[in-house]
A = this chain, B = another copy of it.
Amino acid sequence: MAKDEDRIEIDRNAGFVGDYLLYLLAAASDAASTDFHAHVREQGLRVPEWRILACLSDEDGQMVTQLAQLALMEQSHLTKIIDHMASKGLVKRRSDERDRRRVRVFLTAAGRALGARLVDEAQAHEEEIIARLRPGEAALLKNALKHVHALYRAGSGITPAPVREPVKLETRPT
């Protein structure tokens, strides 16, 4: 398979990417989630559906927009996911009494049961991860992640690094 000169050792600490915070966040998130996401799919759920189950298990009857922000997805996408989950009998919609523009999403009995089960499994899985870290490392990590998350919520008015002239590079229109 791999011949000698192929072992181009990719030293992740050498270049820019391997020590770039945004890369490390994305890569760690991706790597740590892969296993459990596979498990979720084996249960017949898509990952976004699992996220919604989890959020509703925490607090039932949330609004669509609220849920979308919490579950890190777009509103219009969530609408479609709710359609799908409703057709599977996991959730049902009920429009808010006070403000009928709003749609509140509630777990069905089946949704609540599945959600509770998966939350349990997620916690067990989390324990396994934490067990592999150094003592106290998980707590530090979670704190720092909460800190970053809190700093960069929507609408902090923070702008990225100074922007020079946008560049037109398209050979053909995208």
Residue of B nearest to A58 (CB): B15
A87-116 interface code vs B (CB 8 A; 1 in, 0 out): 111100000001100000000001000100
A16-30 interface code vs B (CB 8 A; 1 in, 0 out): 111111111111111
Choose among B16, B35, B45, B152 the residue that contacts A34 (Cβ–Cβ < 8 A).
B152
**10 closest A-B pairs by CB:** A15-B58, A124-B161, A25-B29, A31-B152, A24-B145, A141-B144, A39-B160, A28-B145, A121-B161, A28-B148
A132: CB under 8 A from chain B? yes
Residues of chain B within 8 A of A132, CB atoms compared: 151
Please, how many residues of chain A have a CB less than 8 angstroms from a CB on the other chain? Answer: 97
Identify whether the interface residues of A are mostly helix, strand, loop, or mixed. helix
Q: How far is B23's CA from A129's CA once the two chains are assembled, in angstroms? A: 13
Residue of B nearest to A18 (CB): B58
Residues of chain B within 8 A of A12, CB atoms compared: 146
Q: Is the CB of B149 within 8 A of A24?
A: yes
Please state the number of chain copies in the assembly: 2
Residues of chain B within 8 A of A130, CB atoms compared: 21
Q: Is the CB of B59 within 8 A of A166?
A: no
Q: Is the CB of A21 within 8 A of B141?
A: yes
Q: Is the CB of B163 within 8 A of A44?
A: no
Residues of chain B within 8 A of A161, CB atoms compared: 36, 39, 120-122, 124-125, 128
